[in-house]
Chains A and B, each alone.
Chain A
Amino acid sequence: MITRFIHHVRVDRPPAGESAAEARERLREKFPRGAVRRMTHLGLLIGSTLEGLALSADDAAVYASSFAETRALEDFLLSFPSASPLLFQTSIHPGGVQQVLIGRQQAVARLWPLAGQTRLVEQALLTALLETAPRVVLVGGEERGTWMLERGMASDRAFAFALSLSREADGAMGRLEFTPPPPDGAGSCPMLGAFADAVAERRPLAWRGTGGAWSLTWT
């Protein structure tokens, strides 16, 4: 069994339909004035969830998003034939978390950006559990799409979460356990948004994944 303890927990679930401009207004105190106007909705939400967590260059980060920088992607596509360099670089995964860390000039030992969907949560968790860094921050989130959402190719809601995981049990808010022996057949893994909701509401989760059994509990 691999166990990690959860310390920092923060989830940002904005009101449905919040725009990036509204998020900038709501969250502007959390960011340097010069940076906030260039940040995407997802970047703002991730920055909000990392507030209060002082990272170090020895830490590692795992970043999970199925659709990532949807709005930059949409707008970049519409910028052709005069492609926008700013939108291009913003659209590249893992731009959401990089906006925040570059804004802080915060190096990290390793960054593991994942981009799956149906088993994304357990793959991100497993990546975090296999990290050798003393502390791993697990960040995830999505932003709401517009024309790509109409085609089913974007998230229908915006959210972000951040958890810090370590081997230190003292003061932990919860624990994550993974038991590797492969179970007979995998169950359904929570989707990223459902996982964010469970974290926000401190609800326990348990499921059988492709590589073993998972348990998320809260103290």
Chain B
Amino acid sequence: MIFDADQLSTGIVACDGLTPLGNAEATVAALLDGRIALKLQPVLGRDGGDPVPLAVLGGTMDETLPPRWLEPLRTLATRIPPAAWGTGRYPVVVTSSNFGVGSMYAFTRDQDARHLRHGPPFASVDMLRRELGWGDDVTVFSHACVTAQLGLAHATRLLHAGIAERVLVFSFDFVSPFVAGGFHSLKILNGTMPAPFAVRDVGAIGLGDGAAFAVLARDAAGPQLEAHALHNEMHHFTANEPSGAGFKSTAHAMAKTARGRRVWIKGHGTGTLDAGRLEAETWAKVFPAAPLVSWKGSLGHTLGSCGLVELALTLAALRRGKIPGTIAGATPSFTSEVALAPFSANGFEAVVLASNAFGGAHAAMLLRPS
């Protein structure tokens, strides 16, 4: 079944991100140099465990008081254009899959109840709201690894309904023993470094800290988010429908919107084998010869924030005119479209950015550079 995308164009007024390699500009520079932020670290931090690939701001994911994500987010927020965020016609949309969940793990270790103050999603967002001076019009989405794309799509709808003048979408996901332990238990976070879209015997992901924001306005000049496509196949909690139907649904929606324009594709590309193959094959079939890249081989998977973090990196790469290739990828890849080396942005008219999530959730958006 092919669904239509929301074809509601919005301008990106401002957008930046934060990874262990720096802000969006610095991260893209590092990716173009082929730097890998992931390092093998104990899966439970100071509690030990198997070494797994993690890319962590500050070098350790162990929980602190206040939470270790707060100061980096304060710094990131200084780059948000000022407005009466969270009030009136300037709503905020916060997206994450982790929020402050690492603090709950910390509580079970040291019984310090202060960790719990920012444990549930709404509590961590309330802490952010107070810190950053936002009002209470803050919508919170949590849909695993497509969350940020949901937030951007919702922001677009708010703008086109005339409910908002500008919308701030803010996303953050920081690694903790909670989430690292969870993915390790599923055996997809293991002692192997990820190699997105590579044909190999064992699939593996890495996990990384990431945060980003975008300010959207309906009639702003500059880069435009032209369309959003979302689909939930509901086949299995952790596996995709084997025919790739879910991937196809959003890919075909993007193709209808792209209308033959020359695109490159920022894929999801975590490093798992089945999903990676389905994704690469689908994009190659729907957009033949369109370069496909993933940056999760360097940065790890920033989970619910990946859609916005990677949008910020895409915009930074477009400003440079050079797109990082699939860091840590390898030959053979699932398709010949997988781009391992950096390439020029010249000649491309649009970019497709894809994210996928547990539960067979699929999301894609079409970006038109300015």
A residues in contact (CB < 8 Å) with B: 2, 57, 61, 66-68, 73, 76-78, 80-85, 88-95, 98, 101-102, 104-120, 123, 126-127, 130, 132, 148, 151-153, 180, 182, 186, 210-212
A107, B121: Cβ atoms closer than 8 Å: no
Contact B141 A113 (CB under 8 A): yes
Report the stretch among B9-17, B216-224, B231-239, B307-315 that lies at the interface: B231-239
Chain A's interface: helix, strand, loop or mixed, by majority? loop
- Using A80-B181, A83-B181, A210-B137 as known contacts, say yes or no to A130 and B232 having CB atoms under 8 A apart: no
Chain B residue at smallest Cβ distance from A78:
B108
Question: Count of A-B contacts with CB under 8 A?
Answer: 171
Docked-complex contact B136 and A119, CB < 8 angstroms: yes
* A186-B105 contact in complex given A89-B186, A114-B141, A211-B163, C-beta closer than 8 Å: no
| B116 contacts A by Cβ under 8 Å | yes
Number of interface residues of B (CB under 8 A): 66
Contacts of A57 in B (CB 8 A): 1
> Which residues on the A side are within 8 Å of B232 (C-beta)?
61, 101, 107-111
When each residue 223-248 of chain B gets 1 if its CB lies under 8 Å from chain A and 0 otherwise, what string results? 00000001111111110000000000
Given A182-B88, A210-B91, A211-B91, A110:B177 Cβ within 8 A: no
Q: Which A residues touch B142, using CB under 8 A? A: 68, 93-94, 113-115
Q: Indicate if the CB atoms of B108 and A102 lie closer than 8 Å.
A: no
Alpha-carbon separation in the docked complex, A108 to B119 (Å): 30
Residues of chain B contacted by A81 (CB below 8 angstroms) = 44, 47, 49, 181
Assess whether B116 is in contact with A108, with CB atoms less than 8 Å apart.
Answer: no
Residues of A within 8 A of B193 (CB): none
Q: How far is the CA of A82 from the CA of B50 in the complex (A)?
A: 12
B119 proximity list for chain A (CB < 8 A)? 153
Residue on A nearest B89 in the bound complex, by CB = A182
The 17 listed contacts between A and B (C-beta, < 8 Å) are: A84-B185, A85-B182, A88-B181, A88-B183, A98-B237, A98-B359, A101-B234, A102-B237, A110-B232, A114-B139, A114-B141, A115-B122, A117-B120, A126-B163, A130-B157, A152-B116, A211-B137
